[in-house]
Amino acid sequence: MAILVTGGAGYIGSHTVVELIEKNYDVVIVDDYSNSKPEVLTRLKEITGKDIPFHEVNICDKKALREVFEQHELDAVIHFAGYKAVGESVAQPLKYYSNNLYGTIVLMELMNEYNVKKIVFSSSATVYGMTNEAPFTEDMPLSTTNPYGTTKMFIEQFIQDQYLADNQWSAALLRYFNPIGAHASGRIGEDPNDIPNNLMPYITQVAVGKREKLSVFGSDYDTHDGTGVRDYIHVVDLAKGHIKALEKVMGMTGVEAYNLGTGKGYSVLDVIHAFENANEVEIPHEIVDRRPGDIATSYADVTKAKNELGWEATYSIEDMCRDSWKWQKTNPNGYES
């Protein structure tokens, strides 16, 4: 029996595959390489020693995805596959609704048909929207401010409704805060297409000389230093949280949401200084206007994941900065040779 990991060649997916294999799970990866590269599979074999069954499939392609369900005895699905760029989703909402929502419907229809009714879903803290006050708890009302976030909120609803229709389903909806860092080996890490949207990959590209300086989006937020505060979590902590969530869904029915964060908030300037201190590098930066749609403060209440999954983050912001830099320094062009 095996765990199907959709988007398993991606940043969080690949780190989760490493943890799954270390826990002796059999893994099958589907990925369409829209935000990842074949080299990731080579790196995964290097780290785990395993040839992981892989299918280059877009989850909207029901015929191709059906082949995966035909060829493998699956226990459960960890569902990462989906477009994830907030700005792009505002410019191209139909691309996001079609790929993320229709793709998930195809996946869930096949899960139903092949009696695979256990899912760990890659959701996002973005579903807490702009009306809740941090620290965010899982029972807070959800709202979104961009189509990417809306797809996450809708997929949570799809899964809730499917459970109400068939209570053999079990699901963990994992609301990630801000994943950064990389596997200690430095052989897998975050490799954004084009100009990074997110803070840490931009910082590491400045550090490696690929970008001239970091633009700090606003310094007039109601935070301790005026810059945006976020809950950064090491991607390996996040991956380990998926293993705990998988164990949970294997032994229960029902649907539960869990915050995967550290419960601590760091500002943009905090992260810059932590990165500079941890790695003895300088990050040239300048304060510019706010980025539309950003909120001032986001960090998790992590009580539920600790109590119900027996999971909590362990890596420090310094660990995250050090591991992000090791990945970027040893892979200046990401997975491009």
Q: Would you name the residues annotated as active-site residues?
A: 148
Q: How many CB atoms lie within 10 A of CB 98?
A: 14
* Sheet of 170-176, strands arranged across: 54-56, 27-31, 2-6, 74-79, 118-124, 170-176, 254-260
Question: Interface with ligand WQD includes 197 (CB under 6 A)?
Answer: yes
List the interface residues with ligand WQD, window 164-193 (CB under 6 A). 178
- The full DSSP string for 282-317 is ---EEEEPPPTT--SB--B--HHHHHHH-------H
Q: What is the DSSP letter of 55?
A: E
Among 36-44, 161-169, 215-223, 317-325, the segment contacting ligand WQD (CB under 6 A):
215-223
Residue number, 36 or 124, with CB nearest to ligand WQD? 124
Binding of ligand WQD by 248 (CB under 6 A): no
**Is residue 233 part of the contact set for ligand WQD (CB under 6 A)?**
no
Residue nearer to ligand WQD on the CB measure, 113 or 289: 289
Residue number, 162 or 297, with CB nearest to ligand WQD: 297
Contact flag: residue 215 with ligand WQD (CB under 6 A): yes
Q: Tell whether residue 249 is a contact of ligand WQD (CB under 6 A).
A: no
Of 236, 268, 274, 320, which lies in the binding site for ligand WQD, with binding defined by CB under 6 A?
268
Site string for ligand WQD, 276-315 (x = CB under 6 A): ---------------x--x---------------------
**Comparing C-alpha atoms, which of 34, 156, 138 is closest to residue 101?**
156
Closest CB to ligand WQD: residue number: 228
Q: Which stretch binds ligand WQD (CB under 6 A): 65-73, 167-175, 195-203, 325-333?
A: 195-203
Sole window of 44-52, 64-72, 136-144, 196-204 interacting with ligand WQD (rule: CB under 6 A): 196-204
The answer to whether residue 86 forms part of the interface with ligand WQD (CB under 6 A) is yes
Q: In this structure, are residues 132 and 300 in contact, taking their beta carbons and an 8 Å threshold?
A: no
> Which of 25, 54, 163, 202 is in the footprint of ligand WQD by CB under 6 A?
202
217 lies in the binding site for ligand WQD (CB under 6 A): yes
Residue partners of 87: CB distance under 8 A and separation at least 6: 197
Describe the crossing of helices 235-250 and 11-22 by its angle, rounded to 10 degrees.
Answer: 60
Does residue 76 belong to the site contacting ligand WQD (CB under 6 A)?
no
Q: Which of 84, 242, 248, 264 binds ligand WQD (CB under 6 A)?
A: 84
Residue 285 pairs with which residues in a beta bridge?
214
Cα–Cα dist 91/81, whole Å: 20
Should residue 126 be labelled a site residue for ligand WQD when binding is judged by CB under 6 A? Answer: yes
Q: Diameter of the chain by CA atoms?
A: 55
Q: Which of 89, 124, 150, 328 binds ligand WQD (CB under 6 A)?
A: 124
**Residue 58 sits in the site that holds ligand WQD (CB under 6 A):** no
CB 74: neighbour CB atoms within 10 A?
A: 20
Interface residue with ligand WQD among 118, 230, 240, 244 (CB under 6 A) is 230
Helix, strand, coil proportions of the chain in percent (round to 5)?
A: 40, 20, 40
Which region, judged by CB under 6 A, interacts with ligand WQD, from 53-61, 163-171, 208-216, 317-325?
208-216
Distances (CA, A) of 25 to 10, 162, 196: 19, 26, 33
DSSP 23: T
Nearer to ligand WQD, 36 or 170 (CB): 36
CB 283 within 8 A of CB 149: no
**Cα separations in angstroms, 214 against 20, 80, 195, 210, 288:** 35, 29, 12, 11, 10
* Residues contributing to the site for ligand WQD (CB under 6 A): 84, 86, 124, 126, 178, 197-199, 202, 214-217, 228, 230, 268, 291, 294
